[in-house]
Structure 1
Amino acid sequence: MKCVTVLGARPQFVKAAPVSAAMIEAGTDEILVHTGQHFDYEMSQVFFDELNIPEPKYNLAISGGSHGRMTGRMLEAVEAVIEKERPDCILVYGDTNSTLSGSLAAAKLHVPVAHMEAGIRSYNKNMPEEINRILTDHVSSLLLCPSDTAVVNLQKEGINDGVMMVGDVMADAAMLANRIVKDDPDYLPKIEGFDWDQGYDLLTLHRAENTDKKSRIESIFEALNNIENPLIFPIHPRTRNEIAKADIFLADNIITCEPLSYLSMTALMNRALRVFTDSGGLQKEAYWAQKPCITLREETEWIETLKDNANQLVGANTQLILEAVEKSNSATFQSALYGDGNSAPRCVSAINELFQK
């Protein structure tokens, strides 16, 4: 059975690691296609190196430009790969432009699509990711859901066939990463003079809805500049540019570093006191690490994390951010939320059973 897998962004590489390993174990012929959406070493290749993901057979080197232009170029290039490889199915992950281009190219060539992380909804259609995931779900033949909520979301949209609740393969990846990094300080970023034993919070910020609006980014940093703990901030290149463009002041408690590999980010989060983020995946990873999360958005796809102050939605509201810091001290966590670490083999089994000719 031949499966073409389309990847392009950091979270997809993480999710692909346990799934590609399970495909090798099952004897599935997986052809990896890297669209190039995230293209430099720290944003891409280091994930393949650290997580032992097989090298992509195709690297399309498509990045930059508007959403429409990027997706269109990817669609054309992925279509050519599908026509050449003639796979039994296409596997896509999550909600990026790479996801949409892979699923549409396959659908137009009548090749069945398997969507990993199907059924996730933020119900904010201003997010490009929300459009990508909805369209992908509606052209998919196998919808691999990470939660019961995701299954219900699909049912509300009239999608019942091919839906499976398999758990979250990101939980598999997180457990693998934790086994590797353990308490090894060598995985922490090199920050001269910083005492890792003093306690710190972790910050990530990358969504356009926050970084592209000066009023929002000002409000966010008005709060963060007044956080008592040091804030370690692995900063996305685009975010760095937007902060400079908006002339945002960063107080001495905010310590920036370059983007980190997945294992380094895991080590950093495991030692953190709490997490501030607008990332979807990091909300879950913080939960699994039992770190209180303060989400700099008005909505989340991962509503199960909102119980017991484990994750709080604060948007860009300065006062809500500061209040959430106090509430985070009472956070409690459930065990095995979203997965037991065996989601990848279940997904591969479902793919092989449905699409093997």
Structure 2
Amino acid sequence: MSKKAILTVLGARPQFIKAAAVSRQFQKIEIPEIIVHTGQHFDKNMSDVFFKEMSIPSPQYNLKINSLSHGAMTGRMLEQLEEIILKETPSAVMVYGDTNSTLAGALAAVKQHVRVIHVEAGLRSFNMAMPEEVNRILTDRISNLLFCPTDTAVKNLKNEGYENFNAQIVKSGDVMQDAAYFYLDKAKSSSKIIERLGLTSDFVLATIHRQENTDDQTKLKQIIDGLNRINKEVRVVVPLHPRTQKILKSTSISTDFTIIEPVGYFDMLMLISNSKMVMTDSGGLQKEAFFFGKHCITLREQTEWVELVENGFNRLAGASSDAILNAFHEMSSKESNFNIDLYGNGKASEKIAQHLKSWL
């Protein structure tokens, strides 16, 4: 493999979807790439069919490291990634986002004096209780090239003194928007979820997965109560992880809305684009709602995507049942112009690839 190769470290399904957008641009301008899957998020849906359907290059390495504590997982990844870097001698290691795989990839590279590229750099929730916040801050600090999705991300890095560090800051836009636009046509032709559930456009799509909500019985009860109250006015559809379903059962928290099994990316795109509104504690879904012109209510006290709140597309409601219901009523009657470029309008991957062509 050429010295010019980039070694890309990925560990979760959303990272593969984002990286696929960048990989397509790499292929166009002939930047060689070696993809490593750490196995962090063990997902039975990530089969050969997943990679084929999503037009995602298959990883050359799969480390199958999952279901361990944060320390054990990161440590094992670091050990095995170091071996791969020594063997492949890439010109740079590219990481995405804020998972343990992201941090392990960046650490393994910097210890071997290999340059680090961080896509989705500069994001901050300012909540150090979140493992993701720790991962993204540490990864940014040891990266040489920081691709920021937004003006806010650039500002965060400048506020932290990054202009004094040996790192280059580039506002690239958000590759997630590239992916969402690319895959929507595929989703329209292959997903049947709207028909299967008998949905009209008058439904609210909601997701709850963050441990700060699911592991706190008081918060979880309040969120469920808020969704139950909204469901009396408009149908609420919630793809719910089996773990959260188990928690609801064990705590006898009753639900009146429609619960479905977790869905794949194509089905999720169809649910978002056909919904009336989105309610979520997921960072990615807040942006996807915006990409498809939907208002969003965030079931957290803070968000990394502050530009969505500042422009009125998103409302922070926390975990209060009353606040969630009030936010729903406010956003139901709100009209917004979504024709604003916050995330690069689907050109982020192209910008990243072109920049790397000269940087490498």
1:245 matched residue in structure 2: 250
The DSSP-based 3-state class of the residue aligned with 1:33 is strand
1:170 matched residue in structure 2: 176
Structure 2: runs of 5 or more not aligned: none
Aligned match for 1:209, one of 190, 206, 212: 212
- 1:99, CA displacement in angstroms? 0.5
**Quick one: distance in 1 between partners of 2:217 and 2:147?**
38
2:226 matched residue in structure 1: 223
Matched residue type, 1:301:
E
Are the equivalent residues in 2 in contact too, given 1:118–1:143 (CA < 8 A)? yes
- The verdict on how the C-alpha distance between 1:237 and 1:106 changes in structure 2, with shifts beyond 3 A counting, is farther
The DSSP-based 3-state class of the residue aligned with 1:42 is coil
Matched residue type, 2:174:
D
Matched residue type, 2:345:
D
Cα-to-partner distance string for 1:82-112 (whole Å, 9 max, x where unaligned): 1111110000000111101101111111111
**Quick one: distance in 1 between partners of 2:346 and 2:193?**
27
- 1:46, CA displacement in angstroms? 5.7
Are the equivalent residues in 2 in contact too, given 1:50–1:263 (CA < 8 A)? no
- 1:147, CA displacement in angstroms? 0.9
2:349 matched residue in structure 1: 344
Are the equivalent residues in 2 in contact too, given 1:43–1:259 (CA < 8 A)? no
Aligned match for 1:24, one of 9, 24, 27: 27
Aligned match for 2:148, one of 135, 145, 149: 145
Cα-to-partner distance string for 1:190-210 (whole Å, 9 max, x where unaligned): 886x42226211111111100
Are the equivalent residues in 1 in contact too, given 2:226–2:324 (CA < 8 A)? yes
Give identity over the alignment, percent: 47
Matched residue type, 2:99:
T
The DSSP-based 3-state class of the residue aligned with 1:167 is coil
2:266 matched residue in structure 1: 263
- The verdict on how the C-alpha distance between 1:279 and 1:166 changes in structure 2, with shifts beyond 3 A counting, is same
Structure 1 position 284 matched with structure 2 position 287: yes
1:94 matched residue in structure 2: 97
Are the equivalent residues in 2 in contact too, given 1:10–1:44 (CA < 8 A)? no
**Quick one: distance in 2 between partners of 1:331 and 1:39?**
40
Structure 1 position 155 matched with structure 2 position 153: no
**Quick one: distance in 2 between partners of 1:244 and 1:97?**
30
**Quick one: distance in 1 between partners of 2:95 and 2:254?**
39
**Quick one: distance in 1 between partners of 2:300 and 2:101?**
23
Matched residue type, 2:185:
R
**Quick one: distance in 2 between partners of 1:284 and 1:210?**
20
**Quick one: distance in 2 between partners of 1:105 and 1:90?**
9
Cα-to-partner distance string for 1:157-204 (whole Å, 9 max, x where unaligned): 11123100111111111111223334x5x5143886x42226211111
- The verdict on how the C-alpha distance between 1:246 and 1:68 changes in structure 2, with shifts beyond 3 A counting, is farther
Cα-to-partner distance string for 1:289-343 (whole Å, 9 max, x where unaligned): 1111010000010111013542110110111100001111204134232112111
- The verdict on how the C-alpha distance between 1:33 and 1:272 changes in structure 2, with shifts beyond 3 A counting, is same
- 1:136, CA displacement in angstroms? 0.3
- 1:24, CA displacement in angstroms? 1.1
Structure 1 position 304 matched with structure 2 position 307: yes
1:136 matched residue in structure 2: 139
**Quick one: distance in 2 between partners of 1:145 and 1:245?**
42
**Quick one: distance in 1 between partners of 2:135 and 2:179?**
23
Aligned match for 1:314, one of 294, 313, 317: 317
1:236 matched residue in structure 2: 241
Are the equivalent residues in 2 in contact too, given 1:22–1:344 (CA < 8 A)? yes
Aligned match for 1:82, one of 85, 90, 96: 85
- 1:249, CA displacement in angstroms? 1.1
- The verdict on how the C-alpha distance between 1:168 and 1:45 changes in structure 2, with shifts beyond 3 A counting, is farther
- The verdict on how the C-alpha distance between 1:159 and 1:352 changes in structure 2, with shifts beyond 3 A counting, is same
Bigger Cα displacement from structure 2, 113-122 vs 231-240: 231-240
Matched residue type, 2:150:
S
**Quick one: distance in 2 between partners of 1:44 and 1:215?**
37
**Quick one: distance in 1 between partners of 2:287 and 2:280?**
11
**Quick one: distance in 1 between partners of 2:86 and 2:250?**
44
**Quick one: distance in 2 between partners of 1:259 and 1:285?**
17
Matched residue type, 2:349:
A
**Quick one: distance in 2 between partners of 1:46 and 1:343?**
26
Structure 1 position 108 matched with structure 2 position 111: yes
Are the equivalent residues in 1 in contact too, given 2:7–2:90 (CA < 8 A)? yes
- 1:117, CA displacement in angstroms? 0.5
Matched residue type, 1:175:
Y
Cα-to-partner distance string for 1:52-96 (whole Å, 9 max, x where unaligned): 111000001111122122111111121111111111000000011
**Quick one: distance in 2 between partners of 1:191 and 1:290?**
21
Are the equivalent residues in 1 in contact too, given 2:122–2:140 (CA < 8 A)? yes
